[in-house]
Structure 1
Amino acid sequence: MGAILVLLLVVFAPHAVHAQDPTGAKTGTITDIPAAKAGAPTPAELGDAVGHNRIATNIMWTLLAGFLVMFMQAGFALVETGFTQKKNVAHTMGMNFMVYAVGMFGFWICGFAFMFGGGLNAATLGGAPGVIPHEYVVHMFGHDFGIIGTVGYFLNSKVYDVGVFTLFLFQMVFMDTTATIPTGSMAERWSFKSFLIFGFFISMFVYPLFGNWVWGGGWLSQLGANFGLGHGHVDFAGSSVVHMVGGVAALAGAIVIGPRIGKFNADGTPNTIPGHNIPMALLGTFILAFGWFGFNPGSTLAGADFRISIVAVNTMMAGTAGVLSVLIILYMQGKKPDPGMLANGLLAGLVAITAPCAFVNSLGSVIIGAIAGALVVLTIYIMDYKLKIDDPVGAFAVHGVNGAWGVLSLGLFADGSYGDGWNGVKGNVTGLFYGDASQFGAQCIGTLTCFIFVFVVMYVFFKLSNKITPIRVPAADEIAGLDMPEMGVQGYVD
């Protein structure tokens, strides 16, 4: 007993001198700065240390945000699988799983080069010293129109740089979000081989090309510098570049592949084909909402950009406004609060706020999210009852329509408090309601360009790829379920 008391006194008794630093007040001092003479850094050595820490903070923040966005793949897989029938679980999950690998390799081969090869020097990530970007341009009307980047294929030795690799990871997971959206609209009847071809095509060409025009220094981003249209087409985190591209591709695919067997009656009236697991879909929705904190705040590419807090709060507010908007509409229609529709309301609000999240105030974000919720209900109704287009998870309603609404809303609600120098234009980004009609004009041009370019290219692609391998599975396989015919295993063994 005495020995135990002595031990306790030794461990817990106060000491006059502490070798440790429990408060952290003495941790990280001038002696920790690399210097020729320890504890006495020169101004140049001090400046190098400050610059290094600043870039290290930005790189770490961007990578962590990218990890969050990568986790959104799990959310998409759960949402889409939950909203579809249990006989297709392995197939739907398999597409959401494989799009990660296929998309990454396509983006690594040439997608990243096409998208960012003309603007690899991201200052917040260190300026990519030694990397010389090059954009292929077309000269018209006295101005240069950037079309496609030409540096960075296979992440070769010419772009072997910490800043470039950070940018690649962050942008690769964004691309994967785009690529996975059509797996929802074409679920339960899409041939797996045809899906694989699609994965390479959209990651290597379609997404990178439009992405270059907006984020890679291409012609849409220069509408302001060249023609005085605000700050050019502005999209902070991807309402158009990521979501609208994926949503429009999903629409083209749904039209070409046709509706599921049993979706529409002979007179054209739609039948509800319920998802097999609503809890799974709602869990996936929560994961997506969590990952969106990497998507939107992460797009600052700078951990020291205090605007992160505004972006994060606006993201939350718009998503919840979308949910409440859908709930109110359902009650006004005399319906019950369908959890699936509520989930799409949340996602619609998040998609819509993705472009304007850094440029609007909280009231603007709530209005944008509420309108997004109404749009998703209206669009699903129109597709089912008017256009007769079968979209099992509402991919076009959520990502296509609200991706467009997101970039347009920026041109309306940007309050002029942020964005000085965006796309090389002086002054903050300001929308129509705050005095700059030209910004709305740039947003309209970008939105129209996105829809026309993506829809035409993807419609033609799906038609041509059908000649290579059938885009749709045989009717017998669709009726029985795609797990065994396409994947060789059952998602559920019962």
Structure 2
Amino acid sequence: MNTLFLINSMWVMLGAVLVILMIGGFILLETGSTRMKNAGHIAGKTILTFSIGSVIFWAAGYGLIFGRGNSLLGFSNFFYSGYDIDGMSLSGAVFFLFQLAFAGISLTIAFGGFAERAKLSVYLIFSVLFSLIVYPPIAHWIWGGGWLAEHGKQDFAGSTVVHLTGAMAALAATIILKPRIGKFNKDGSANNLAGHNQVFTALSVLLLWVGWFGFNAGSTLSVDKGFFGFVAVNTNLAAAAGTIAAMLISWIVLGKADVPMMLNGALAGLVAITASCAFVETWAAAVIGFIAGILVFYSIRFFEKIKVDDPISALSVHGTAGIWGTLSTGFFATKELATVGQPGLFYGGGLHQLGVQAMGVLVCGTFAFIISFILLSIMKAVMNGLRVTEEEEMIGLDLSEHGSYGYAELVKTEQKLNA
């Protein structure tokens, strides 16, 4: 066992830990972006669903993605038992944990579309189905040597595999569950059901930003030549540019520098650079992030206009930015850095790589949406609905689903009101 093997294993293990800690960022993001009567429910179900996803990934997900099979799916390596992988310069167990973390993040993103109105049982069942049926095929097609990999699809750390997949499942959920009570008026205008804690949301973005270094730089899977540092720089620049762009566009259009929009801009920049962080130069990373910050602003307004209730902005942050990030390599991937696929349009590659990227977006996005929609529709029929009752939603999921509030102060206030 050589020194490089050990150092690579330690580096990717650190990356896995950072990505798993992003679950904490998503807890704060989703909790801060919603109302306090659902805070405990959101925090608890996020830990629970990550636990379910972890077990399913161990039992079957890893094998479906990375097992020996065909261009559509893997069919071996189920119930992973800790063995190393031939030809890989790091511990097989570390690689397994790293990939498990990515699957868990995609599942967490998907549940953004369920927020404040889905039954707890829906989360439990869909965690299993998403981790078995939705995520593994797409991950295999791109990362497991499947048919999109054979076409040279570029997605270094998951703008498509992780983010777009989760966002399209969230879109299916928002459509089936329908908007929260009070979100839209009869005339179609929208009410602002503001999140209860912007400090939580800002802290979540910082935690996710730091975790993204594990997400992107960790995906190098090696410390050789220090390339992970370059990937980290691109990641940071895109996040910063996305923050600035979203702040500016909200200030210009709304007349105020909207804080939630600024935070969404940071996340959009991170999502967008995830596909291209190893394939583009630093100036392009800043451009990609800046464009993502503008896109997320208009995307959030678009979904609200068509009466899609997306409390966490998952569709825009992870869907729209994920699409842009995937397509961006078709423009900006350089000859020197494009170790997968071909250079982008601006580097003499013509439209070929852009076409491959667009095909990947269309196929993967459509697959994730349709399969999720079908699964949720079946669940709705079998489970007598996916949504809590109107009374339970008004009370809040903390009390109706768990019998206690996430904030003890709410109990004292309610007792005083009922006294």
TM-score (normalised: structure 2): 0.94
Residue of structure 1 equivalent to 2:62: 112
Query: Which of 327, 344, 363 is matched with 1:431 structurally?
Result: 344
Residue 311 (str. 1) matches residue 231 (str. 2): yes
1:283-432 to structure 2, matched below 5 A, reads 283-385=203-305, 387-420=306-339, 422=340, 429-432=342-345
Q: Aligned pair 1:182/2:101, yes or no?
A: no
Residue 72 of structure 2 aligns to a residue whose secondary structure is strand
Q: 1:70 maps to what in 2?
A: 20
Q: Does 1:206 align with 2:134?
A: yes
Aligned partners of 1:300 and 1:271: how far apart in 2?
44
- State whether residues 83 and 92 of structure 2, in contact with CA within 8 Å, keep that contact through their aligned partners in structure 1: no
**Match of 1:151?**
76
Structure 2 counterpart SS, 1:189: coil
**Aligned 8 A contact 2:251 2:258 in 1:** no
| C-alpha distance after superposition, 1:63-115 (max 9, x if no partner) | 11100101000000001000100001111112211121011011111010000
Conserved in 1, the CA contact under 8 Å of 2:82 and 2:93? no
Q: Confirm whether residue 216 of structure 1 aligns to residue 144 of structure 2.
A: yes
- SS of the equivalent of 2:73 reads strand
SS in 1 for 2:147: coil
Shift in Å, 1:158: 7.1
Q: Which residue of 1 aligns with 2:123?
A: 195
Q: Are 2:374 and 1:460 equivalent residues in the alignment? A: yes
SS at 2:149's partner residue?
coil
- TM-superposed CA distance for 1:57, in Å, is 1.2
Offset at 1:415?
Answer: 1.7
Deviations 1:180-231 (A, max 9, x none): 01222221001110111111111122111100000000000001xxxxxxxx
Contact 1:318/1:349 (<8 A) preserved? yes
Q: How does 1:253-292 map to 2 (within 5 A)?
A: 253-292=173-212
**Equivalent residue for 1:142?**
none
Deviation of 1:157 after TM superposition, in Å, equals: 7.6
Contact 2:168-2:369 at 8 Å conserved across structures: yes
Q: Which residue of 1 aligns with 2:416?
A: none
With structure 1 as the length reference, what TM-score do the two structures score?
0.80
Structure 1 residue 177: Cα displacement: 0.5
Show the 5 A alignment for 1:208-247.
208-223=136-151, 232-247=152-167
Report the CA distance shift for 1:358/1:160 in structure 2 as closer, same or farther (over 3 A). Answer: closer
Contact 1:181 1:250 in 2 (8 A): yes
| Alpha-carbon displacement from aligned partner over 1:450-488 (angstroms, at most 9, x marks no partner) | 111111000111111112323111110001111011122
Query: Structure 1 counterpart of 2:21, which letter?
Result: F
Identity within the alignment, %: 41
| Cα distance between partner residues in 2 of 1:285 and 1:89 | 17
Specify which structure has the bigger relative contact order, considering alpha-carbon pairs within 8 angstroms and separated by 6 or more residues: 2
Task: Give a deviation string over 1:393-412, Cα, whole Å, max 9, x none.
Answer: 10010001111111100111
1:451 aligns with 2:365: yes
Question: How big is the shift at 1:305?
Answer: 4.1
Give the equivalent residue in structure 2 for 1:120.
Answer: none
In the alignment, the residues of structure 1 paired with residue 270 and residue 72 of structure 2 have an alpha-carbon distance, to the nearest angstrom, of 29
2:38 aligns to what SS in structure 1?
helix
Q: Which amino acid aligns with 2:360?
A: G
- For residues 125-184 of structure 1, give each alpha carbon's deviation from its aligned partner in whole angstroms, at most 9, with x where no partner exists: xxxxxxxxx22x3xxxxxxxx111112111148779973212110000001110001222
| Rounded Cα–Cα distance in structure 1 between residues aligned with 2:264 and 2:226 | 30
Q: Retained in 1: the 8 A contact 2:169–2:372?
A: yes
| Contact 2:165–2:368 (CA under 8 A) maintained in structure 1 | yes
Instruction: Answer whether contact 1:92 1:183 (CA < 8 A) is retained.
Output: no
Structure exhibiting the larger radius of gyration computed from Cα positions: 1
Partners of 2:240 and 2:255 lie apart in 1 by 20
SS in 2 for 1:148: coil
Q: 1:90 is matched by which residue type in structure 2?
A: G
3-state SS in 1 of match to 2:2:
helix
- Decide whether aligned partners of structure 1 residues 84 and 439 sit closer, same or farther in structure 2, where only a CA change above 3 A counts: same
Secondary structure (helix, strand or coil) at the match of 1:149 reads coil
User: Partners of 2:81 and 2:52 in 1: how far apart?
Assistant: 19
1:157 to 1:492, Cα distance in 2 relative to 1, 3 A = closer
Is there any run of 5+ residues in structure 1 with no aligned partner, and where? 1-50, 118-133, 138-145, 224-231
- Whether 1:475 and 2:395 are equivalent positions in the alignment is no
Q: Kindly indicate whether residue 357 of structure 2 is the aligned counterpart of residue 440 of structure 1.
A: no
Counterpart for residue 492 of structure 1: 407
